[in-house]
Amino acid sequence: MLVPITITEKAEAEIKNIIAHKNIPQEYHLRVGVKGGGCGGMSYALGFDKPKEDDQLFEIAGIPVLIEKRHFMFLMGMQIDFFEGDEARGFTFINPDLPKRHDQ
């Protein structure tokens, strides 16, 4: 099965750290999805959840990942990364098909 997203080494390490230290139940998996629309466009979401009927389950970098079937086309080719700066830290979604912004 085609895997729609990739996870960088930094994001993989942070996700595994969260699973290990935040008492995420074993039956929960990383859920990757999209939200919204409207004038702001799509935004991306990460969280932990139990599998649902319309989910596809992938094993990515040793992490079980859930993606709702209707979100698949919006996530295709996306890369999840993790950044840690002086004033902020967090996950980011990168579309490698788009040119990089100058502020990244």
Q: Which CATH homologous superfamily contains domain 6-94?
A: HesB-like domain (2.60.300.12)
Starting at the edge strand that comes first in sequence, how are the strands of the sheet with 79-84 ordered? 6-7, 79-84, 89-94
The Cα 81–Cα 94 span in angstroms is 7
pLDDT of residue 39: 63
Whole-number pLDDT of residue 91: 96
Chunked mean pLDDT (size 10), the chain, 104 residues:
89 96 95 80 91 95 94 92 92 80 47
The whole-number pLDDT of residue 99 equals 62
The pLDDT value given to residue 103:
46
What pLDDT was estimated at residue 79? Answer: 96
Domain ranges in the chain? 6-94
